[in-house]
Amino acid sequence: MKGITLLLTCLVYCANIGPIRANSPKVCLDGSSCVLGRFMSGNVSGSFEAFLGIPYAKPPIGDLRFSNPEEAELWNGTLSAINTTPDCIQRDYINVTKRIGGSEDCLYLNIYRPLNNTGRELPVMFFIHGGGFFTGSPSPNNVGPQYFMDTGDVILVVAAYRLGPFGFLSTNDEEMTGNFGLKDQKLALKWVKNYISAFGGDPDRVTIFGHSAGGASVHLHLMNNNKEDLFSKAIMMSGVGNSPFALPVNDPRDQVVQLAKAAGVTEAENLSSADLVQALRSIKPEDLLIAADDLKIWAEQPLVIFRPNIENDTWPGAFLTKDPMDPFIPLGTNTDIPWFIGNAPAKGEGLVIALRLASNKSLQDELNEDFIQRLSITLSLSGTCDTEAVIDALVTEYMDGKHELNNDTLNGFLELLGDRYFIHPTYRVLKSNVNSSRSDFRGILRFDYRGPYSYSPYYTNSSIDFGTAHYDDTLFLFDGPVGLSNGYSQQSPEAALVKRYVRLYQSFAENGYSDEFAVSGECNDLNFPNCENLLIVKDEEPFQTGDSWNSERMGLWDQIYDSC
Ligand SMILES: *[C@@H]1O[C@H](CO)[C@@H](O)[C@H](O)[C@H]1NC(C)=O
Ligand SMILES: *[C@@H]1O[C@H](CO)[C@@H](O)[C@H](O)[C@H]1NC(C)=O
Ligand SMILES: *[C@@H]1O[C@H](CO)[C@@H](O)[C@H](O)[C@H]1NC(C)=O
Ligand SMILES: *[C@@H]1O[C@H](CO)[C@@H](O)[C@H](O)[C@H]1NC(C)=O
Ligand SMILES: *[C@@H]1O[C@H](CO)[C@@H](O)[C@H](O)[C@H]1NC(C)=O
Ligand SMILES: *[C@@H]1O[C@H](CO)[C@@H](O)[C@H](O)[C@H]1NC(C)=O
Ligand SMILES: *[C@@H]1O[C@H](CO)[C@@H](O)[C@H](O)[C@H]1NC(C)=O
Ligand SMILES: *[C@@H]1O[C@H](CO)[C@@H](O)[C@H](O)[C@H]1NC(C)=O
Ligand SMILES: *[C@@H]1O[C@H](CO)[C@@H](O)[C@H](O)[C@H]1NC(C)=O
Ligand SMILES: *[C@@H]1O[C@H](CO)[C@@H](O)[C@H](O)[C@H]1NC(C)=O
């Protein structure tokens, strides 16, 4: 009877986990440190191996909060890596509930590899999740590895990194240097470089790829020079380091003071950096996240409060020492880093900034009550330009000249946000880099395929169809969160798209190229050399070629870029 209960329980709960066999997969990193994983069920194929929650850094708690990450010592014996670890503690403003969850002790990584991977070194794909540097999860429940494992040809690594104030707060001096989340990612990459060969991975063929804040992170890793040769290829989808959501704030130290004040630290203005950091270390993490609400100016805006910052290169472990407004990608010891870049349509990209503004009439009315001020906050226009004139020009181009957000101007408004935060910054990255003789640019990918699942209801808290939304393409790379994507039916065009889209990424990781790009056309209207343009659109043949830059709008943003 007990056996039957166990079996039934397993039928209900083990669907994603697969049979837990006696011969669990085990990998030894050296003579004394081993890791015990578990089998998970692939989607098409049988099972694969998962090693969940491997510590790559010391827990960033106590004095290590707001400090550069420190390498974790290897354990003695066998580490059980069969359960997911908590996400990094976060307040998720993208979710309408603005939920707080996770743990400060979160610097773990997950590794997935195909079965029977002996005798060949596989390319490694290192995924950096998105979420505006303040939310997101590396868990297999959110970043489901099944589709990549179905290829049988790649090892996938997904690491957690510190978020929000814990990852991106800086006193602008050595007391609290900032960029902790990015330094976490880099330390995880270093772990991969050191140990992935034990898993059958090729440490010289690591592709970093990311979406949204993950894409911006990839760009910043490229700007970081990669002196240590931690990766050899890069993919940036819907996010670059020069996007306004990722650009350094004007006065990082003032932000620390504001947060400290909101958290009840007395005389915060008058504290030294060292005392400020000490004070902030003694506050409960949940209380810090709630205090950070005070830094929002209107509704959820600015959406991304805590961001990467520019460090002095004399600071220990400095990560970002150049201004990402100049998105040039210097190449370190690697002379040949192939990369490609991509976006969803402007309107869909804009949705993740607009959130409930896209659907909620009373929020739209609030915007209209103080249109110029609230729009300029929503667009992250800095105070250094003539905001009124700039908004006039933008409203003329995008909203038929109407200073009002309503059903008639909504599409234009979303395109405005999408161009500001995603399309134009991508365009600038291309402009700054494709003519560099040392760069190995492989093309632009435009993803416009709305399947049965989309992030749109999650952003907007409504069922209105806005087409392909920001981050939707990840639903064709990963099994997504519950309610967003639970796989596609066998004969569906979506299942076929998953196969091709995942293969595109995998073959890029393998060879630095994908045949899908070979069928694509040149995007010539902007004089980008060697520029192949791959369109993934919902049609009989989803992989097509084409060129859809709006030159006029890009020109308008070029005029504003430096001053706003
Ligand atoms: C592992 O064992 C060695 C030798 O006994 C010891 O020096 C080291 O501190 C141990 N490491 C950990 C993480 O316990
Ligand atoms: C949003 O938050 C609620 C809890 O507050 C949670 O149940 C739900 O899963 C979250 N949605 C997503 C897509 O993360
Ligand atoms: C693959 O690995 C599984 C589990 O370790 C084993 O049962 C099976 O025989 C292996 N298959 C091949 C072809 O080696
Ligand atoms: C900070 O110090 C100045 C004088 O140095 C004082 O005038 C001011 O009141 C102090 N601020 C707070 C919040 O105590
Ligand atoms: C970096 O720090 C050094 C030493 O404190 C200082 O002399 C230099 O001016 C700083 N550089 C920048 C760009 O702030
Ligand atoms: C619109 O947004 C406001 C403010 O967040 C909220 O209180 C209200 O419930 C929302 N209305 C609808 C219909 O979702
Ligand atoms: C605006 O669009 C929404 C969603 O499509 C619709 O429910 C609403 O009735 C429209 N409002 C007006 C004033 O047309
Ligand atoms: C790249 O160089 C070519 C040849 O010099 C030039 O025609 C083109 O305008 C340049 N493109 C960009 C984006 O700078
Ligand atoms: C989200 O949508 C639900 C259902 O329409 C509504 O009741 C709720 O007020 C909305 N919440 C917010 C914060 O907009
Ligand atoms: C996943 O698995 C299901 C069930 O076997 C199958 O119908 C579907 O086509 C598979 N592929 C994708 C991409 O969901």
Which residue out of 470, 507, 514, 520 is catalytically annotated? Answer: 470
Residue with CA at minimum distance from ligand 7 atom 4:
464
* Residues 383, 462 within the same domain: yes
pLDDT per residue as tens digits for the range 265-314: 999 999 999 999 999 999 999 999 999 999 999 999 999 999 999 999 99
pLDDT per residue as tens digits for the range 478-514: 998 888 877 899 899 999 999 999 999 999 999 998 8
* Residues 330, 357 within the same domain: no
As beta bridge partners, residue 90 has 101
User: Is residue 423 a part of any domain in this protein?
Assistant: yes
CA distances 398 to 276, 312, 347, 352, 408, Å, are 44, 39, 11, 18, 11
Nearest atom in ligand 2 to the alpha carbon of residue 481 is 13
* Residues 331, 347 within the same domain: no
Instruction: Report the alpha-carbon distance of residue 278 to residue 120 in Å, rounded.
Output: 50
Q: Looking at residue 1, what is its pLDDT? A: 33
User: Is residue 396 a part of any domain in this protein?
Assistant: yes
Q: Has residue 399 got a pLDDT over 50?
A: yes
Q: Which of 290, 311, 337 is the last residue of a domain?
A: 337
Q: Looking at residue 2, what is its pLDDT? A: 35
CATH number, domain with residue 60: 3.40.50.1820
Residue among 405, 407, 408 to mutate when testing ligand 7 (max atoms within 8 A of CB)? 407
Which residue out of 139, 170, 212, 454 is catalytically annotated? Answer: 212
User: Is residue 288 a part of any domain in this protein?
Assistant: yes
Q: Has residue 226 got a pLDDT over 80?
A: no
Name the helix (H) or strand (E) containing 54.
Answer: strand 47-55
Q: Looking at residue 520, what is its pLDDT? A: 58
Band of the pLDDT at 530, cuts 50, 70, 90? low
User: Is residue 14 a part of any domain in this protein?
Assistant: no
Residue among 170, 174, 314, 321 to mutate when testing ligand 5 (max atoms within 8 A of CB)? 314
* Structural domains in the chain (count): 2
Residue with CA at minimum distance from ligand 9 atom 9:
461
Token duo for residue 180: 């902790």
Q: Has residue 69 got a pLDDT over 90?
A: yes
* Residues 207, 272 within the same domain: yes
| DSSP assignment letter at 39 | E
Residue among 174, 175, 311, 312 to mutate when testing ligand 5 (max atoms within 8 A of CB)? 312
What are the start-end ranges of the H helices in 246-360?
Answer: 252-262, 273-281, 285-291, 346-354
Q: Has residue 335 got a pLDDT over 60?
A: no
* Residues 301, 412 within the same domain: no
pLDDT per residue as tens digits for the range 18-66: 444 458 999 999 989 999 999 999 887 789 999 999 999 999 999 999 9
| DSSP assignment letter at 301 | B
Contact 139, 478 (CB under 8 A): no
Q: Taking CB atoms and a 6 Å cutoff, what residues make up the pocket around ligand 7?
A: 407, 464
Domain region containing 71:
25-337
User: Is residue 15 a part of any domain in this protein?
Assistant: no
CA distances 121 to 152, 196, 202, Å, are 12, 10, 5
* Residues 154, 244 within the same domain: yes
Q: Which of 337, 371, 400 is the last residue of a domain?
A: 337
Instruction: Report the alpha-carbon distance of residue 242 to residue 380 in Å, rounded.
Output: 13
User: Is residue 5 a part of any domain in this protein?
Assistant: no
Which residue out of 49, 175, 349, 516 is catalytically annotated? Answer: 349
* Residues 253, 395 within the same domain: no
pTM of full prediction above 0.85: yes
Map residue 543 onto helix, strand or coil: strand
* Residues 333, 349 within the same domain: no
Q: Which of 271, 304, 337 is the last residue of a domain?
A: 337
User: Is residue 16 a part of any domain in this protein?
Assistant: no
Q: Has residue 255 got a pLDDT over 80?
A: yes
Q: Has residue 178 got a pLDDT over 70?
A: yes
Band of the pLDDT at 545, cuts 50, 70, 90? confident
